[in-house]
Chain A
Amino acid sequence: MTRPILNVTGLAKRFGGLVATDNVSIDVRPGEIHALIGPNGAGKTTLISQLLGELPHDAGSIELEGREIGNLSTARRVHLGLARTFQVTCLLPDYTVLDNVAIAIQLRQGHSFRFWGNVRKDNALRKKARGFLRDAGLDDRAEVVTANLSHGEQKQLELAVALATEPRVLLLDEPMAGLGHVESEQMIAMLRGCKERVSMILVEHDMDAVFALADRVSVLVYGRIIATGTVEEIRENAEVRTAYLGEGEDLC
């Protein structure tokens, strides 16, 4: 078995009396999509925020490519190769689609204490950003102000921006949420397309997408992982059925 690229062990987080993350261990292997499913309020988004360092964790370790990153700042973790998307899209609304991707590349290129040159006339940067937009199928929307995009396009842009940081591991927080059927299909195709380059943790409620994409699935309930396995194993797991799939039948 290949060494995991992201290895989380014994992660814990409590908010007062509420245990949000309870001794969670999860790993992602290179080129793998590891789906994380669970009912609402199970702590999936909280887990992603801890992995990226937006929320500090109380205990446990997070290793990226064998290196402990649990005590590093979000910025350091991103530079080492972590990226996330947001469930409720979090973009720069006044900027154009192209600007949103270009700024991600700019930050990847090092510090921004450069006060003179016009960043919008940096052709190398603009060209690279257009490349990412083309991959996301947004190249004809490049000059549109982001606030004016449809919900589906914003979700696509979220992904394009995250990919523009050239991550090793991508943490996806419900990329299908609110997408129509056709848009979901597109998103699935895109994720499958970049899987070779980027390993992913995929938090998702859309079971069709999970079953289409995931190599392995973990089930999170009340902050605890109750099962990890292949898609088939999870489908057959009795505990998972009662905890999640049973009540979620109408969700799919």
Chain B
Amino acid sequence: MRTPITTYLSLAVLLVLLVALPTLADLANYPAFTSVATRVLIYGIAAASLNFVLGFGGMVSFGHAAFFGIGGYVVGILYQHYSLGEPLFGVFPGSNQLLVTVPLAVLVSGAMAALIGALSLRTGGVQFIMITLAFAQMLFFLFVSLKTYGGDDGLIIRRANELGGLNLRDRPTMYYLCLTIAVSFLFLLWRIVNSRFGNVLIGLRQSERRMAALGLSAYRYKLAAFVISGMGCGLAGALMANFMRYVSPDMMHWTKSGELMVMVILGGVGTLFGPFIGAGAFIMLESLLAAWTENWQLGLGFILLLLVLYTNGGLQALFSRLFRRDA
């Protein structure tokens, strides 16, 4: 099957629009929109990471906020040690360099995902959902009680990380950084999903029994996917910490895991763009409904219900059907 030229065209148009977004937001006299879009991109990376195991691999993890939070805390803790001039564990100096903190955040969340995944993936189904949730909650309470790093109140990062001569406090700069990373991340996911590894992962979702009968040892592939997914969430968390200049245990609360899952379902489970669309829809709905009523989750719930019942594959599927082409 060849990808139709219209797909490439619409992707190009989309990219141009995304690049022009800060300028358009300024022209529309609504510069805050750039910040909203940045949030969407960051949550999109996290949701796409979750979707990698949930949608493509069929592993319903209810603890992905843990990796999001860890990514954020790596940035926050490194900054605290940097600003106080005290080395971490008496050995490692802190850092405020984005090129140090973000890769470290990705590595640490990957290691954490390896640990949690190695234990959780011995189970399946409902047990897997519960055990991932339990691990995430354990981490949540660990950080709540970690007074050195702010406990309940979280950590304030007074100045965003440095990256060359860029000022990451500047809204458009941060937006372009997140856009670059999100596009690269999506490209990477696209390659993995269509690779031999992705083939095995999607096969496992469809029938683990069949894959076993073909001679596959499922565990190591699922674990590798889980680690990749955890790293993606850690990346998003590290970006979020820089964007908000604040981290708190709330980033790894179970409701955050739920929000990520809602974004995936809104956008379309097992699709590449779905999680980004879902993140966009979620954040728009959150701000629209919250302006209208305090109980905005009720409205969101109804919308989610309608989408699940009637779109048969989330917003991405709905859009594809509207424009009459295959997803």
Chain A residues positioned under 8 Å from B215 (CB to CB): 74-75, 77-79, 107-108, 165
The answer to the question of B217 belonging to the interface, with a C-beta cut-off of 8 Å to chain A, is: yes
Name the A residues within 8 Å of B209 (CB-CB). 54, 86, 90
Cβ-defined partner of A119 (8 Å) among B195, B210, B217: B195
Residue B197 contacts which of A73, A77, A113, A161 (CB distance < 8 angstroms)? A113
Total chain A interface residues with beta-carbon distance under 8 A: 34
Docked complex Cα distance between A118 and B195 (Å): 5
Q: Is B82 an interface residue (CB 8 A)?
A: no
The answer to whether A118 and B217 touch across the interface, beta carbons within 8 angstroms, is no
Task: Report chain A residues within 8 Å CB of B212.
Answer: 54, 74-75
Contacts of A112 in B (CB 8 A): 196-197, 199-200, 216, 221
Q: What residue of chain B has the Cβ atom nearest to residue A94's Cβ?
A: B206
Contacts A73-B217, A84-B213, A104-B214; is A90 near B196 (CB within 8 Å)? no
Partner of A106, one of B191, B196, B206, B224: B196
B192 within 8 A of A: yes
Distance A246 CA – B210 CA, assembled complex (angstroms): 36
Q: Which residues on B sit within 8 Å (CB–CB) of A200?
A: none
For residue A103, CB closer than 8 A to chain B, the reply is yes
Is residue A187 within 8 Å, beta carbon to beta carbon, of the partner chain? Answer: no
Q: Is the CB of A93 within 8 A of B206?
A: yes
In the complex, A114 has a CB within 8 A of chain B: yes
Is B203 in contact with chain A by the CB < 8 A criterion?
yes
Q: Does B198 contact A (CB under 8 A)?
A: yes
Q: When chains A and B are docked, how far (Å) is the Cα of A107 from the Cα of B202? A: 14
A115–B196 CA distance with the chains assembled, in angstroms = 6
Q: Chain B residues near A104 (CB, 8 Å)?
A: 214
Closest partner residue, chain A, to B228 (CB atom): A115
| Contact flag A161-B214 (CB < 8 Å), given A115-B191, A116-B195 | yes
How far does the alpha carbon of A132 sit from the alpha carbon of B186 in the complex, in Å?
35
Given contacts A106-B196, A117-B195, A119-B198, are A90 and B214 in contact (CB under 8 A)? no
Of the listed residues B199, B214, B216, the one surrounded by the most CB atoms of chain A closer than 10 A to its CB is: B214
Instruction: Find residues 81-115 in chain A having any chain B CB closer than 8 Å to their own CB.
Output: 83-84, 86, 90-95, 99, 103-104, 106-108, 112-115
Distance (whole angstroms) from the CB of A90 to the closest CB of chain B: 5
B197 touches A103 (CB 8 A): no
Task: Indicate if the CB atoms of A119 and B196 lie closer than 8 Å.
Answer: yes
Is A33 part of the contact surface with B, judged by Cβ < 8 Å?
A: no
Q: Does A181 have its Cβ within 8 Å of any Cβ on chain B?
A: no
Question: In the assembly, what is the distance between CA of A20 and CA of B194, in Å?
Answer: 43
B206 touches A95 (CB 8 A): yes
* Bound-state Cα–Cα, A115 to B190, Å: 10
* Beta-carbon contact of B216 and A90 below 8 Å: no
- Bound-state CA distance A91–B206 (Å) is 8
Contacts of B221 in A (CB 8 A): 112
**Shortest beta-carbon distance from A170 to chain B in Å:** 11
- What is the distance, in angstroms, from A39's C-beta to the closest C-beta of chain B? 25
* Distance to closest chain B CB from A215 (angstroms): 25
| Complex interface: chain A residues within 8 A of B195 (CB) | 114-119
Q: How far is the CA of A62 from the CA of B195 in the complex (A)?
A: 36
Flag whether B207 is at the interface (Cβ < 8 A): yes
User: Which residues of A lie under 8 Å from residue B192 when comparing CB positions?
Assistant: 115-116
Q: Which residues of B contact A213 (CB under 8 A)?
A: none
- A78 to B211 Cα, complex, angstroms: 11
CA distance A127 to B114 in the complex (A): 37
Contact call A103/B200, Cβ cutoff below 8 A: yes
Q: A79-B215, A90-B213 are in contact. Are A119 and B194 (CB under 8 A)?
A: yes
B210: which A residues are within 8 A, CB to CB? 86, 90-92
Q: How far is the CA of A81 from the CA of B188 in the complex (A)?
A: 35
Bound-complex Cα distance A185 to B122 (A): 44
CB-CB nearest in chain B for A76: B215
A52 within 8 A of B: yes
What is the CB-to-nearest-CB distance from A171 to chain B, in angstroms, rounded to a whole number?
10
Q: How far is the CA of A107 from the CA of B203 in the complex (A)?
A: 11
B199 near A83 (CB under 8 angstroms)?
Answer: no
Which residue of chain A has the shortest Cβ distance to B201 in the bound complex? A112
Provided the pairs A103-B214, A107-B215, A108-B215 are in contact, do residues A114 and B206 lie with their beta carbons within 8 angstroms?
no
| A91 CB contacts on chain B under 8 angstroms | 207, 210
Quick one: given A83-B213, A84-B213, are A95 and B197 in contact (CB under 8 Å)? no
By a CB distance below 8 angstroms, the chain B residues around A99 are: 199
Q: Across the interface, which residues of B come within 8 angstroms of A117, CB to CB?
A: 195-196
Name A residues whose Cβ lies closer than 8 Å to a Cβ of B: 52, 54, 73-75, 77-79, 83-84, 86, 90-95, 99, 103-104, 106-108, 112-120, 161, 165
9 other A-B residue contacts (CB within 8 Å) besides A54-B209, A107-B200, A112-B197: A75-B216, A78-B215, A103-B199, A103-B214, A112-B196, A114-B197, A116-B195, A118-B191, A120-B194
Ranked 9 nearest A-B pairs via Cβ? A78-B215, A92-B206, A114-B196, A112-B196, A75-B217, A112-B200, A118-B194, A119-B199, A90-B210
A-B contact pairs, 10 of them (CB 8 A): A90-B213, A92-B207, A93-B207, A103-B203, A106-B196, A112-B221, A115-B196, A117-B195, A119-B195, A120-B194
